[in-house]
Structure 1
Amino acid sequence: MRRDLARRPDGSTTDYDHVVAPAAVTVLAVDTGGLVAVTRQWIYVHAEPQWRLPAGRIDADESPAAAARRELREETGISADELVGLGTINCADSLTNHRDHAFLATGLTAGEPEREPGEVDLRVHWVPFDQLVGMVVDGQLPHAGSAFAVLLAKTSGLVE
């Protein structure tokens, strides 16, 4: 948490409180049958289990694409032949600098997950893409990066 003395465009100043957070990645992993790997786990800051796509922070020494491959493998055990950047979303502009880089992963190969201790309750489910779009619209997929990736893939025609 930081408090900065911020200068506005008109030259006036104000105290501005905000959270400094590392960037993250979210991965929309779609198999050849149009099923998407979706996780469900307890999310501490929301005090409830939530649906979301595989996601996590970008370590200081890695690129967003490398982090996306790592997070996908760690949480689901999946490796992807193809990884395409979908875009980046600012998650809460007035509160934090946090940005989420979304990727589409295809050419999937199953493997064993390498979960961290805090992910012991994480479960992977395979959901049809159209059902996942409905989950976003119905508010069942509240994670900003996940909703962004799903809607961008749908509206751009990258996933049918």
Structure 2
Amino acid sequence: MIDGWSTVSSTVEYTGVRVLVRRDAVRRTDQSLGTYEYTESVDGVRVVALDDRGRIALVEENVYVCGQRLLMCPGGGCEPGEDPLAAARRELAEEAGIRAAQVELLTMMWRMPAGARTREHLYLARSLSVGEHHRDASEADMELRWVALEQAVAMCGDGRITEAGTLAAVLLTAQRTTAWSGRPPWVPTVARCRTRDRRP
């Protein structure tokens, strides 16, 4: 709880298979009252699987809630009581058939902090071996694509990648890895940065 804030009441308005909706009455530091409605669900994971050629694995699938196909890093929700790292390894193997000798945490992020109490754990996986995937029925339309990391960064900027966890994971991977060379696509060239000399 935020320092100086207190929860006056908390009510579960709806309970589903994977999510519940909660309404809290809260007293803030200045003693004003507020009402907050938000969802709670299991933590999620996304994994950037980076091979020795500087490519990352992306999966493309139909996402019903968004009403379109999305390109994403492999990932999903943690099982009850499952450690996020274990979930990351499981999802990577299930969706893409990939196992990794090295998996490191990139960061933890809040999915939608104003309306959801759900965290997403982002990982970078390296030293990969590729085998058979084990997708469930809801993932029957999923396709695996290998994309150069530099291209994936560009896709984050031009609207081809729009899922929040994937955006963050790809850009964090590009920030810390030397697997690709050249100027990062988000850094403008000197020519574009140069301003006109207005001295008399």
TM > 0.5 fold call: yes
Q: Does 1:23 align with 2:4?
A: no
Aligned to 2:3: none
With CA pairs under 8 Å and 6+ residues apart, which has the higher RCO, 1 or 2? 1
Work out the CA distance in 2 between the residues paired with 1:38 and 1:130: 13
Work out the CA distance in 2 between the residues paired with 1:75 and 1:44: 17
Pair member with larger Rg:
2
Unaligned runs of 5+ in 2: 1-20, 181-200
CA contact (8 A) 1:92 1:98 kept: yes
Shift of 1:45: 1.1
Aligned CA distance change for structure 1 residues 30 and 145 (closer, same or farther; 3 Å):
same
State the secondary structure of the residue aligned to 2:112.
coil
Deviations 1:48-103 (A, max 9, x none): 00011001001122111100000000001110010011001111111101211000
Letter in 1 for 2:171: L
Work out the CA distance in 2 between the residues paired with 1:6 and 1:72: 39
Q: Percent identity?
A: 35
Unaligned runs of 5+ in 1: none
CA contact (8 A) 1:26 1:102 kept: yes
Q: Does 1:140 align with 2:121?
A: no
Q: TM-score, normalised by structure 1?
A: 0.96
Q: Does 1:149 align with 2:166?
A: no
Shift of 1:139: 2.2
Alignment of 1:43-122 (within 5 A): 43-122=63-142
Q: CA RMSD in A?
A: 1.1
CA contact (8 A) 1:24 1:64 kept: yes
Deviates more, 1:2-11 or 1:16-25: 2-11
Runs of 4+ aligned residues of structure 1 deviating over 6 Å after TM superposition are none
Q: TM-score, normalised by structure 2?
A: 0.77
